[in-house]
Amino acid sequence: MLKVILNKNEEENILNGYPWVFNNEIINFEGPIENGKVCSVYTYDHQFVAYGFLNTNSKIMVRILSLDENEIINKDFFEKRISYALEHRKTLGWDATRLIFSEADFLPGLIVDKYGDYLSVQFMSLGMDMIKQDIVDILVKLTGCKGIYERSDMPVREKEGLLQVKGFLYGKFDPRVEIIEDDIHMIVDMENGQKTGYFLDQKLNRDILRLYTKNRNVLDAFSNVGGFALHACKYGASHVDACDISKRACDEITNNAKLNGFTQLEAKCVDVFDYLHDDANKDKYDLIVLDPPAFSKSKDSLKKAYRGYKDINMQAMKIIKSGGYLLTFSCSQHMTPDLFMQMVSEAAHDANRTVQFLDFRIQSPDHPALLEAGEQLYLKCLILRVK
């Protein structure tokens, strides 16, 4: 097995639980390089640190699998890891849930989402991609699923030297499946929907609308397939506008509203940025959900993203009724909680509005994070009352 030798003092973060070894932390390799295979990681003075997946073509050269030198990394190892992750999701008991969240579940580069009886999977690392069939076999054995669809059509694979792919891995089925979330029925498109089909990380944040929406007019901005809008209807909103620039998304919102008999929901296929700037919408809404896509995918784009987030929050505060509630989100990992709160504060000042901070929320507990990897706490939510 290849030995990866670290620079001096680089082992501390790994031993504390950090899941990655970067290319600038390595001084030498001892043995034949086999990308995608398991390697062993050693300190500068040749003390064992960890086992991990190797990929010298990636900035993340080693993805840590185990700190136990006696561990045997084989199919049984991955079955035990997957079984451990599934135990937690059984505790949650959700029909639609994330079963495996990559490094946060000690399975680097593997995402598995459950939509009823079907699974949607993503292989984001070379090492995990090379054992794809083993993973599929284990998932079928442990979950009893009826089918598995692969959604490895994300750009991050290219950093691993992998092509973007999608298609059936187990069984043949209609990839448009019906799920139930908080007694709301929805159609999820596992083949063409965003992410693996639905934004599962927002589950508990959607449910929190039960506290704020009764008899109120609601705007769900950047609605996608209407998750927040549908929950607002369920919890008694008088009227809900669900806005998204995608016609496909708006069609899905309309279909999902009909599926549940929600007549107070209207899907609007509009540019959300323009909609928020439209003075005709001033004092129209008692509650606004602002859940934009990630504006920043890298540190280099953070300044531009900051301006974008600030603008939409400022405009939302300008049009919301006095005493209204704003649920504002960021899913950009580079937008830290402190920076996010600073941005919202500046937006309130520029909008000439006073806000009360009510709650701070993160992703739902089927999306865990390692304490040593703060970037895994990527989803941030502030609930504010705006005067």
Kindly report the CATH number assigned to the domain that includes residue 79.
3.30.750.80
Same domain, 166 and 140: yes
Q: Where does a domain end: 48, 66, 84?
A: 66
Decide if 305 contacts 268 (C-beta within 8 A): no
Residue 182 lies in a domain: no
Domains of the chain: total: 3
Task: State whether 253 and 285 are in the same domain.
Answer: yes
User: What is the rounded CA–CA span in Å between residue 111 and residue 105?
Assistant: 9
Confidence at 330, pLDDT banded by 50, 70, 90: very high
Q: Please tell me the predicted confidence (pLDDT) of residue 372.
A: 86
Q: 331-345 pLDDT, tens per residue?
A: 988 889 999 999 999
Q: Binning pLDDT at 50, 70 and 90, where does residue 371 land? A: confident
Mean pLDDT estimate for the chain: 96
SS (H, E, C) the chain: CCEEEECCCCHHHHHCCCCEEEHHHEEEEECCCCCCCEEEEECCCCCEEEEEEECCCCCEEEEEEECCCCCCCCHHHHHHHHHHHHHHHHHHCCCEEEEEEHHHHCCCCEEEEEECCEEEEEECCHHHHHCHHHHHHHHHHHHCCCEEEEEECCHHHHHHCCCCEEEEEECCCCCEEEEEECCEEEEEECCCCCCCCCCHHHHHHHHHHHHCCCCCEEEEECCCCCHHHHHHHHCCCCEEEEEECCHHHHHHHHHHHHHHCCCCEEEEECCHHHHHHCHHHCCCEEEEEECCCCCCCCHHHHHHHHHHHHHHHHHHHHHEEEEEEEEEEECCCCCCHHHHHHHHHHHHHHCCCCEEEEEEECCCCCCCCCCCCHHHCCCEEEEEEEC
For residue 333, the model assigns a pLDDT of 84
For residue 119, tell me if it sits in a domain: yes
pTM higher than 0.75, yes or no? yes
Mean per-residue pLDDT, 40-53:
98
Distance CA 109, CA 77 (A): 16
- Give Rg (Cα) of the chain: 22
Q: What's the mean pLDDT in 377-387? A: 96
Look up residue 201 and give its two tokens.
Answer: 């990380």
Instruction: Identify the CATH number of the domain in which residue 58 sits.
Output: 2.30.130.10
- How confident is the model over 311-324, as a mean pLDDT? 97
Q: What are phi and psi of 268, to 5 degrees?
A: -120, 115
Asked if 35 and 169 sit in the same domain, the reply is no
Strands 265-269, 239-244: pairing is: parallel
The per-residue pLDDT for range 266-276, each reduced to its tens digit, is 999 999 999 99
Q: Are residues 218 and 333 in the same domain?
A: yes
38-48: average pLDDT: 98
* Same domain? 214 vs 293: yes
Instruction: Indicate if 47 and 165 belong to the same structural domain.
Output: no
Q: What is the mean pLDDT of residues 51-56?
A: 98
Residue 325 reports pLDDT greater than 70: yes
- The predicted pLDDT at position 50 comes to 98
Distance CA 352, CA 358 (A): 19
Average of per-residue pLDDT across 175-199: 96
d(CA 284, CA 54): 54
According to the model, what pLDDT value does residue 301 have?
80
Domain span holding position 161? 75-176
The residue written with tokens 């994330």 in the block is 98
Per-residue pLDDT band for 304 (boundaries 50, 70, 90) equals: confident
Mean pLDDT of 46-67: 97
For 274-301, what is the mean pLDDT? 89
Tell me how far apart the terminal alpha carbons of the chain are, to the nearest angstrom: 63
Contacts of 80 (CB under 8 A, 6+ apart): none
Is residue 232 located within the same domain as residue 338? yes
Cβ atoms of residues 324 and 283 within 8 Å: no
Domain stop point among 36, 66, 96: 66
Summarize pLDDT for 65-96 with one digit per residue, the tens.
Answer: 999 999 999 999 999 999 999 999 999 999 99
Considering only 170-184, 206-220, 284-298, 332-346, which range has the smallest mean pLDDT? 284-298
Residue 183 included in any domain: no
Can you give the pLDDT at residue 294?
Answer: 81
Q: 284 and 212: one domain?
A: yes
In a domain, 184, yes or no: no
CATH number for the domain harbouring residue 300 = 3.40.50.150
367 and 230 in a single domain? The answer is yes
The answer to whether residue 292 sits within a structural domain is yes
The average pLDDT across 269-296 equals 93
The answer to which of 128-132, 209-213, 298-302 has the lowest mean pLDDT is 298-302
Is there a single domain that holds both residue 167 and residue 49? no
Do residues 211 and 162 both lie within one domain?
no
The verdict on residue 304 lying in a domain is yes
Q: Residue 119: pLDDT band by 50, 70, 90 thresholds?
A: very high
Task: Look at residue 296 and tell me whether its pLDDT is greater than 70.
Answer: no
